[in-house]
């Protein structure tokens, strides 16, 4: 198959890239499950953008930089917040209906780290509203072919000195066939990696596939140590399915007046930060972690009873309904909550156009490290980043391919073998990776914990490599390969940062060190400890 543009991923970043590429060539959009099975549809809070007279882009930039704890790239921040309102206007033109207030203007929400109300939302299912509108538009585009249930295994890289990405090898979940998708330009929009951790707010598809594929292709990654834990996911002891254990309670609940309580019913957040429950997420998550450890409990409480049932049903219909299904009436009782792995602030290193270090390859959305988030993502900046960089990458790719010949026929993927793997062993290693990350590389770390994690992950990676050398590729095996690779990148990055900053807190290096005010950049040819094949 030969295309002008290959887009890997069907979340906001991927959909918007394909739309913005327009009719400038043939587009293939590949997604590992269904179009709506990614994290975008689960985004409750909204998209941060300056649309109010009492707000301005300088304030938004300041809030973003402050949350990023010294590592945000100021030029990137200013570009994103400046272009954000235009992208929001385009979303409304595509049919996204953001919730309006009594006067007809946007009903803007407030979230942690923001100094103004600037969160546009569609009730509490903003991601789904955006996704539905984009999919409806994209399906009408004659030049776009959509391939569902297809997992991008590895990138097609041609040349030695003049290396270039020429597409990807794609595995069909339905047939098991591996097909080269050749393309003049490729955009990774494969989402995050929350499944690296045992408890996560992410859907099952978030296994770091894009990050791992880029790494195997020799592409640099950055700031992988900064993994954001959402402070308030519903705690469900004994729940049988992961989505129940990690259902997210939107940060907007705290923005509207919700308060955090410890096991004794005491408000505790003002003991940690002057903004209380509206402090940046890294502060809130660590505070909850500390309260749980002091009390010997595995949760705290989020109390939103002061909002009243009428407001909860109107403003947070989805959250109110889901909590009711779990036996919790938010209007009359507090909900038990605990932090859960939520967002990867690092990723594939890009420039301000979404270009990676490998010509022909772009990365947008959560898979990318653009310099916007620094050491900690400001709430609701992720959807904003996705649309701004999708537009930039689409334009840059359209311009680049003018001078790039058709990719032609690629060689068959060389990693497929005839033997069946042992499912029990794969399942066992899946659990070990995620348990290791939860226990040793969570909200609070130490040098010894990171060392133990590195040792355990290296052993698992060796086992996976042995299976890959003989077994037939399938989703479980490839996703295991990806999560152990991404887990090692997180650990290696954390070991390189001898300080505590943003989302990275190390008990052996508790202070922030200005000498470490730099991105943690890993390149495959420089990190021999991650090579196991």
pLDDT in tens, 352-403: 999 999 999 999 999 999 999 999 999 999 999 999 999 999 999 999 999 9
End residue of a domain, out of 324, 339, 354: 339
How many angstroms separate the first and last alpha carbons of the chain? 29
The pLDDT value recorded for residue 243 is 45
Give the count of domains, the chain: 3
Instruction: Reply yes or no on whether the pLDDT at 338 is more than 90.
Output: yes
Q: Does the structure show a pLDDT above 70 at 519?
A: yes
Which pLDDT belongs to residue 533? 35
Q: What is the pLDDT of residue 413?
A: 75
Sign of the Cα pseudo-torsion (218, 219, 220, 222, in order):
negative
Q: What is the DSSP string of 385-414?
A: HHHHHHHHHHHHHHHHGGGS----PPPPPT
Question: Higher pLDDT residue, 236 or 301?
Answer: 301
Structural domain harbouring 319:
234-339
- Catalytic residue of the set 281, 355, 434, 456: 281
pLDDT > 90 fraction of the chain, expressed in percent and rounded: 87
What pLDDT digit, counting tens, does each position of 467-476 carry? Answer: 988 888 999 9
- Is residue 106 in a domain? yes
Last residue of a domain, one of 318, 339, 360: 339
For residues 169 and 152, membership in a common domain is answered with yes
What is the tens place of the pLDDT at every residue in 415-460? 666 677 788 889 999 999 999 999 999 999 999 999 999 999 999 9
C-alpha to C-alpha distances, 174 to 145, 149, 302, nearest whole angstrom: 18, 7, 43
Contact between 153 and 161 under an 8 Å Cβ cutoff? The reply is no
Whether residue 176 lies inside any domain: the answer is yes
Residues 80, 137 within the same domain: yes
Shared-domain flag, residues 91 and 213? yes
Domain match, 160 and 273 both: no
Which domain-ending residue is among 291, 317, 339? 339
DSSP 508: T
Separation between Cα atoms, residue 386 and residue 392, nearest integer Å: 10
Domain-embedded: residue 409: no
Do 465 and 244 touch, CB atoms closer than 8 A? Answer: no
Q: Is 90 exceeded by the pLDDT of residue 348?
A: yes
Same domain membership, residue 444 and residue 318: no
pLDDT of res. 527: 67
**In this predicted model, what pLDDT tens digit does every residue of 47-72 receive, in sequence order?**
999 999 999 999 999 999 999 999 99
Per the annotation, the verdict on 281 as an active-site residue is yes
């Amino acid at each position: 198959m030969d295309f002008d543009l290959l887009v890997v991923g069907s979340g906001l970043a991927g959909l918007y890239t394909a739309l913005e590429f327009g009719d400038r060539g043939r587009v293939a959009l590949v997604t590992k499950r269904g179009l709506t099975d990614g994290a975008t549809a689960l985004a409750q809070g909204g998209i941060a953008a300056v649309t109010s007279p009492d707000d301005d882009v300088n304030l938004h930039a300041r809030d973003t930089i402050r949350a990023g704890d010294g590592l945000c790239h100021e030029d990137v921040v200013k570009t994103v917040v400046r272009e954000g309102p235009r992208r929001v206007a385009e979303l409304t033109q595509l049919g996204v209906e953001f919730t309006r207030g009594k006067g007809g203007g946007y009903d803007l929400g407030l979230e942690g780290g923001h100094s103004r109300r600037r969160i546009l939302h569609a009730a509490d299912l903003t991601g789904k509203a955006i996704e539905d509108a984009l999919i409806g538009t994209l399906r009408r585009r004659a030049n776009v072919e959509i391939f569902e249930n297809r997992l991008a295994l590895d990138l097609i890289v041609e040349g030695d000195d003049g290396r270039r990405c020429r597409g990807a090898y794609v595995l069909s979940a339905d047939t098991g066939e591996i097909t080269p998708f050749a393309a003049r330009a490729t955009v990774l929009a494969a989402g995050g990696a929350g499944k690296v951790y045992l408890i996560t707010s992410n859907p099952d598809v978030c296994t770091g596939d894009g990050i791992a594929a880029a790494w195997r292709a020799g592409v640099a990654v950055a700031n992988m140590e900064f993994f954001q834990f959402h402070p308030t996911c519903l705690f469900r002891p004994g729940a049988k399915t992961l989505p129940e254990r990690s259902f997210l309670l939107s940060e907007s609940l705290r923005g509207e007046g919700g308060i955090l309580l410890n096991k004794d019913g005491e408000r505790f957040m003002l003991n940690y930060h002057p903004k209380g429950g509206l402090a940046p997420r890294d502060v809130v998550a660590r505070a909850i972690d500390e309260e749980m450890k002091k009390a010997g409990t595995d949760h705290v409480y989020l109390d939103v009873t002061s909002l009243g049932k009428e407001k909860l049903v109107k403003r947070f219909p989805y959250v109110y309904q889901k909590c009711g299904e779990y036996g919790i009436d938010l209007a009359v009782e507090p909900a038990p909550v605990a932090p859960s792995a939520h967002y990867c602030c690092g990723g594939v290193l890009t420039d301000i156009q979404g270009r990676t270090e490998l010509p022909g390859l772009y990365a947008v959305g959560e898979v990318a490290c653009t310099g916007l988030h620094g050491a900690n993502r400001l709430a609701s900046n992720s959807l904003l980043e996705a649309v701004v960089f999708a537009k930039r990458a689409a334009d840059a790719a359209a311009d680049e391919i003018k001078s790039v010949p058709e990719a032609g026929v690629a060689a068959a993927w060389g990693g497929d073998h005839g033997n069946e793997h042992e499912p029990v062993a794969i399942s066992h290693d899946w659990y070990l990776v995620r348990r290791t990350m939860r226990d040793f590389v969570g909200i609070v770390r130490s040098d010894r914990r990171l060392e133990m994690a590195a040792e355990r992950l290296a052993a698992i990676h060796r086992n996976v490599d042995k299976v890959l050398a003989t077994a037939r590729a399938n989703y479980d095996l490839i996703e295991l390969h990806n999560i152990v690779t991404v887990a090692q990148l997180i650990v290696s990055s954390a070991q390189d940062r001898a300080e505590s900053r943003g989302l990275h807190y190390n008990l052996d290096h508790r202070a922030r060190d200005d000498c470490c005010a730099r991105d943690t950049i890993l390149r495959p040819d420089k990190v021999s400890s991650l090579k196991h094949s």
